[in-house]
C-alpha cells in the first residue's frame, strides 16, 4: 500500500484525475523546464528559456497566451497565429499562438518578445501578447495595463505530446514572478521593469516544468494543483490511518 500511495503522489496528473472523477491511471513524466526573465538577453522585454537536457528534440513547438487581467483580457474572442501587427488583419484577438523553432537535444531555446518595436503605445503591437517592450505596449504610464498572461507550451518529444502551463501568478516558484514587467494587477511602470532596459537586470526564475501529456482543459493552473495535492494527501493519509 505504501509503495502504491507514493507512486500516485508523485504522478502530477493524479490530482487532476481525481478532480475530474476519473479512475484511469496517469503516467506523466518530467521532461524539461521553462524559465523567464524580464530584460535579458534582450533588454526591456520579456524573455523565455526552454531548457532541453534530454537526448530527444522538441518539435512542433508552440506557445499560446491569454491575458487574464488588464486591457488585453478585454480583446475580442478569436485566435491569432503568428500575428505580429494590428496593421495587418485588424486588431489582435484574445488567444494568440506562436510557432517556435525546434529545440535540439541537449540545448536551450531563448524566445524574446519582439513583435513590433520598443516604443510607448499605442502602436502596431498594441494588443499583442508577445509585444516588444510588452509593459509599455499601451503607453509608458503607471495607468497603462496591458495585463498579465497565462501561457501554454506544447510540443512533441520522443513521439509523445508534452506541455506546460504558467503565468506570472501561477508558476514553479510558488509566488508572483514579474517576467512580463508588470505588477500583480497587470499595470506597467512597476518595480518589475525598473532598469529592464539594461540587459540582465530584470526578474528571473523557473516558470514551469514540462511534462508528457496534453494541457488540461478547464482545470486549475499549476499552483492550484499544489493546493489540491495537499488536500488529497490529507484525505488519503486519513483513510490509510483509519485502515491501519
User: What is the pLDDT, as a whole number, of residue 221?
Assistant: 45
Q: Which residue has the higher pLDDT, 59 or 140?
A: 59
SS (H, E, C) 36-66: EEECCCCCCCEEEEEEECCCCCEEEEEEEEE
pLDDT digit string, tens, across residues 74-97: 999 999 999 999 999 999 999 999
Residue owning grid cell 483513510: 239
In the chain, beta strands by DSSP E: 30-38, 46-52, 58-67, 79-81, 95-99, 107-112, 149-157, 160-166, 204-212
Residue owning grid cell 516604443: 119
Helical ranges in the chain per DSSP H: 2-9, 14-19, 222-243
> Is residue 147 one of the residues assigned to a domain?
yes
**242 confidence band (pLDDT: 50, 70, 90):** low
> Is residue 209 one of the residues assigned to a domain?
yes
d(CA 132, CA 1): 53
184 and 232 in contact (C-beta within 8 Å)?
Answer: no
Worst-scoring range by mean pLDDT, 9-23, 36-50, 54-68?
9-23
> Is residue 212 one of the residues assigned to a domain?
yes
User: What is the pLDDT, as a whole number, of residue 61?
Assistant: 98
d(CA 224, CA 244): 30
d(CA 50, CA 62): 12
40 and 121 in contact (C-beta within 8 Å)?
Answer: no
> Is residue 187 one of the residues assigned to a domain?
yes
Distances (CA, A) of 70 to 19, 184, 185, 236: 30, 10, 7, 40
**How large is the average pLDDT for residues 136-147?**
92
> Is residue 237 one of the residues assigned to a domain?
no
Best-predicted range by mean pLDDT (37-41, 76-80, 115-119, 189-193): 76-80
d(CA 101, CA 29): 23
> Is residue 223 one of the residues assigned to a domain?
yes
User: Positive or negative, the Cα torsion across 233, 235, 238, 242?
Assistant: negative
**How large is the average pLDDT for residues 35-63?**
95
User: What is the pLDDT, as a whole number, of residue 14?
Assistant: 47
Worst-scoring range by mean pLDDT, 8-17, 51-60, 98-107, 147-156?
8-17
User: What is the pLDDT, as a whole number, of residue 6?
Assistant: 32
User: Global pTM?
Assistant: 0.79
> Is residue 240 one of the residues assigned to a domain?
no
**How large is the average pLDDT for residues 32-51?**
94
pLDDT digit string, tens, across residues 158-217: 999 999 999 999 999 999 999 999 999 999 988 888 655 544 557 789 999 999 999 988
User: What is the pLDDT, as a whole number, of residue 230?
Assistant: 54
Total domains, the chain: 1
Containing domain of residue 57, as a range? Answer: 30-229
> Is residue 14 one of the residues assigned to a domain?
no
Amino acid at each position: 500500500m505504501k509503495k502504491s500511495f507514493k507512486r500516485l503522489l508523485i504522478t502530477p496528473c493524479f490530482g487532476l484525475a481525481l478532480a475530474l472523477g476519473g479512475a484511469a491511471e496517469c503516467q506523466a513524466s518530467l521532461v524539461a523546464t521553462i524559465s523567464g526573465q524580464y530584460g535579458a538577453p534582450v533588454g526591456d522585454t520579456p524573455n523565455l528559456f526552454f531548457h532541453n537536457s534530454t537526448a530527444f528534440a522538441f518539435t512542433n513547438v508552440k506557445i499560446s497566451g491569454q491575458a487574464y487581467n488588464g486591457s488585453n483580457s478585454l480583446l475580442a474572442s478569436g485566435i491569432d497565429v503568428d500575428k505580429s501587427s494590428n496593421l495587418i488583419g485588424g486588431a489582435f484577438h484574445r488567444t494568440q499562438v506562436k510557432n517556435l523553432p525546434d529545440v535540439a537535444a541537449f540545448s536551450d531555446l531563448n524566445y524574446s518578445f519582439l513583435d513590433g518595436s520598443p516604443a510607448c503605445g499605442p502602436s502596431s503591437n498594441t494588443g499583442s501578447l508577445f509585444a516588444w517592450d510588452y509593459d509599455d505596449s499601451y503607453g509608458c504610464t503607471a495607468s497603462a495595463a496591458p495585463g498579465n498572461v497565462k501561457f501554454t507550451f506544447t510540443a512533441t518529444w520522443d513521439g509523445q505530446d508534452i506541455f506546460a502551463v504558467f503565468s506570472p501568478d501561477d508558476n514553479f516558484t510558488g509566488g508572483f514572478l514579474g517576467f512580463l514587467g508588470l505588477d500583480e494587477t497587470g499595470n506597467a511602470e512597476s518595480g518589475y521593469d525598473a532598469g529592464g532596459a539594461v540587459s540582465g537586470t530584470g526578474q528571473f526564475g523557473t516558470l514551469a516544468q514540462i511534462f508528457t501529456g496534453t494541457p488540461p482543459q478547464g482545470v486549475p493552473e499549476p499552483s492550484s494543483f499544489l493546493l489540491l495535492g495537499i488536500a488529497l494527501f490529507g484525505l488519503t493519509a486519513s483513510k490509510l490511518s483509519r485502515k491501519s
